[in-house]
Amino acid sequence: MSKHVLAQNQYGKAENRIVTITRQGNEGAWHEIRDLNVSVALRGEFREVHLTGDNGNCLPTDTTKNTVYAFAKEHGIASPEAFAILLAKHFVHAQPVIHEAQIRVEEFAWDRVSVPTRAEQHSFVRKGQEVRTAQVTYNGHTGQLQVVSSLKELTVMNSTNSEFHGFIKDRYTTLQEAYDRILATKVTARWAHSATAAGEPEFDWDRSYRQVRRHMLEAFAETYSYSLQQTLNAMAERVLDNCGSVNEVRLNLPNKHHFLVDLEPFGLKNDNEVYYAADRMYGLIEGTIHRDGVQPVIATSDWITA
């Protein structure tokens, strides 16, 4: 008898890059595009595949890749969440040996290129604001559908209305107290939707994404901050107060430090005007806020990281 136990395992096809074009208007001249990076992970009865090499229960990863592209043609891509839900349910229902599927999606957004001589029909420039992401997990045994929407690489800054003082000081403390500082961070945010929203076929995922993003940005801008932790909490609470479909928000906020440059050697006074923007190292501020009575579902070890 083996002394070892095969524990949690999964397999699939990662980072399937897919771009779709939807043609609208007169003779299909107006184009809409979706640019996704789709990863598929399958869990189920795969013991023999690992222990003996018997592939009788193994759906080839190449098949999962083909399914992604075929579903884009057959069903279209209404949103990252909606597309992921379709794929997750398909894999679980199509193959009895597959008990759970997890679909991870990144979306890369594009803006139209404005040309005065014609309508902006089919020329685009890649947006540099953030990457939209989503993760859908569907369990065929329990019927549980979990949708976690997210974004990353959203860089924001307040040039004032931020302080940091009154902190613990010991023999190794050199940081000076700040009463007017730059507060900058690169936001990674994840938010878990309620089961009601996840199971609603007509739920508007694009509108929900825009709403959550807007409330986070408004809270960041409107909060007079005494710590980045306080700002994190304000951003998450603003989302929960205004977005009924969201049960939980997890934020990863690296503190992008801006240090005043010492200009005295040059006979110049630096009145909070010239800063050095430090790339490394940075303070890492993280936290999860959820509704009272709701069990958190976003794990700190989720695949989306800072």
d(Cα 191, Cα 31) in Å, to the nearest integer?
Answer: 30
Write down the pLDDT at residue 304.
39
Write down the pLDDT at residue 299.
76
Q: What is the pLDDT of residues 75-96, one digit of tens each?
A: 999 999 999 999 999 999 999 9
pLDDT above 60 (res 306): no
Q: What is the pLDDT of residues 23-47, one digit of tens each?
A: 888 877 888 899 999 999 999 999 9
pLDDT band at 234 (very low <50, low <70, confident <90, very high): very high
Write down the pLDDT at residue 114.
73
Question: What average pLDDT does this structure show over 185-211?
Answer: 96
DSSP string, 157-198: EESSSB-B-S----TT--PPPBSS--EEEEEEEEEEEPHHHH
Q: What are the structural domains of the chain? A: 1-143 (3.10.270.10), 149-306 (3.10.270.10)
For residue 218, the surrounding DSSP H or E stretch is helix 205-222
Question: What average pLDDT does this structure show over 61-71?
Answer: 96
Quote the tokens at residue 73.
């043609």
pLDDT above 70 (res 190): yes
Coil, strand, or helix at residue 54?
A: coil
Q: What is the pLDDT of residues 247-259, one digit of tens each?
A: 999 999 999 999 8
DSSP 27: G
d(Cα 26, Cα 29) in Å, to the nearest integer?
Answer: 6
Write down the pLDDT at residue 122.
66
Strand positions, DSSP E, the chain:
16-24, 30-44, 98-107, 110-112, 124-126, 131-139, 145-158, 183-193, 246-255, 258-260, 275-277, 283-290
- Please identify which residue in the block is written with the tokens 């901050």: 225
Question: What average pLDDT does this structure show over 140-144?
Answer: 96
Question: What average pLDDT does this structure show over 166-195?
Answer: 94
* Catalytic residue set: 13, 61, 257
Write down the pLDDT at residue 118.
59
Give the number of residues written for the chain: 306
pLDDT above 70 (res 200): yes
> With a threshold of 0.85, does the pTM exceed it?
yes
Question: What average pLDDT does this structure show over 184-191?
Answer: 95
Rounded to the nearest integer, the mean pLDDT of the chain is 92
Write down the pLDDT at residue 30.
82
DSSP 231: H
Q: What is the dihedral of CA 163, 168, 170, 174, to 10 degrees?
A: -10
Q: Could you give the percent of the chain with pLDDT greater than 70?
A: 94
